[in-house]
Structure 1
Amino acid sequence: MTERSETLFEAVGGIDALRRLSNTFYDAVLADPLLAPVFADFSRTHVEHVAVWLAEVFGGPTGFTDGLGGHQSLLRSHLGLSITEEQRLRWMELMTTAVEKELPDDELLRRRVLEYFDWGTAIARDVSADPVGQDLGDPGPTPRWGWDGLA
């Protein structure tokens, strides 16, 4: 068990750091020929929603659950996207670059954040194979990710 008193949210630098991370990442995604088509309907509000999601997942405020539809909404947003494993791996490459640029120079912190993204993108890829409107059942609450992984 990791002995750190702060949440990942606090360790990354809070919502401002997550906004920077999201902006840097999505700038790269939209310029990437493999990933840009997945984000054909992208809007800049997506960046803010991702930052709010990550804040909640990493132990910060519950803004995604409180105001943006929670876990069900996040999963539903991936329906019908047909994300390939090649796209998922490219997503991870671009996110790794963004993490290295925007998050504190802390090897364990960066590793934990990237472990979350690896876990989450595998779920997104799986859900994306289902058609829009698919009944996902109750996925439960927004997951929480800490120093020891999924909480």
Structure 2
Amino acid sequence: MTDHSESLFEAVGGLDALRRLSDTFYDAVLADPLLAPVFANFTRGHVEHVAVWLAEVFGGPAGFTAELGGHQSLLRAHLGLSITEEQRTRWMELMAAAVQKELPDDELLRRRVLEYFDWGTRIARDVSAAPVGENLGDPGPTPRWGWDGLI
């Protein structure tokens, strides 16, 4: 049983676990006919960037903000992708399978992680409708997600 007093970052198993989660997930995404076109410019470095983002969101080191441009950079990466609800739903299905495979066997932990992904993918879908170069304004700091959701 996971200690629910620790951060989600600690509970999932840290950066190594988030790397495995991202790697497993993107292997499935790139093989998926519905999602592969969204990731036409995918590089393996994306797996590391996602793991570092998730580490920060889940209460770990703030490496994404310090080294990769923070919240604004993440949102800008989705501009112009025109993500559909069907693609978002498929993304969630593949992530749920990766969570099941890679994260500890703790129902609450997995549910909280998937709740974050559901929340975040809705934002990504909405932002993706804007053209590349759109001024997003200041989205604020990188969001944090804990045992009770958005912190």
Amino acid at match of 1:146: G
Displacement, 1:34? Answer: 0.0
Q: In 2, Cα distance between the equivalents of 1:29 and 1:90?
A: 9
Alignment partner, residue 93 of structure 1? 93
Tell me the SS of whatever aligns to 1:131: coil
Q: Deviation per CA, 1:38-97, whole angstroms, max 9, x where unpaired?
A: 000000000000000000000000000000000000000000000000000000000000
Tell me the SS of whatever aligns to 1:10: helix
Residue 31, structure 1, aligned to residue 48, structure 2: no
Alignment: residue pair count? 149
Counterparts in 2 of 1:67-86, with a 5 A limit? 67-86=67-86
Tell me the SS of whatever aligns to 2:54: helix
The answer to whether the 8 A contact 2:81-2:128 is kept is yes
Q: List gaps (5 residues or longer) in structure 2.
A: none
Alignment partner, residue 46 of structure 1? 46
Percent identity between the two aligned chains: 86
Q: Deviation per CA, 1:89-135, whole angstroms, max 9, x where unpaired?
A: 00000000000000000000000000000000000000000000000
Runs of 4+ in 1 over 2 A off after TM superposition: none
Displacement, 1:5? Answer: 1.6
TM-score of the superposed pair, with normalisation by structure 2: 0.98
Displacement, 1:30? Answer: 0.1
Q: In 2, Cα distance between the equivalents of 1:34 and 1:40?
A: 12
Q: List gaps (5 residues or longer) in structure 1.
A: none
TM-score of the superposed pair, with normalisation by structure 1: 0.98
The answer to whether the 8 A contact 2:4-2:11 is kept is no
Q: In 2, Cα distance between the equivalents of 1:34 and 1:105?
A: 29
Displacement, 1:4? Answer: 2.6
Residue 117, structure 1, aligned to residue 117, structure 2: yes
Residue 149, structure 1, aligned to residue 149, structure 2: yes
Q: In 1, Cα distance between the equivalents of 2:91 and 2:5?
A: 30
RMSD: 0.7
Alignment partner, residue 134 of structure 1? 134
Q: In 2, Cα distance between the equivalents of 1:123 and 1:13?
A: 26
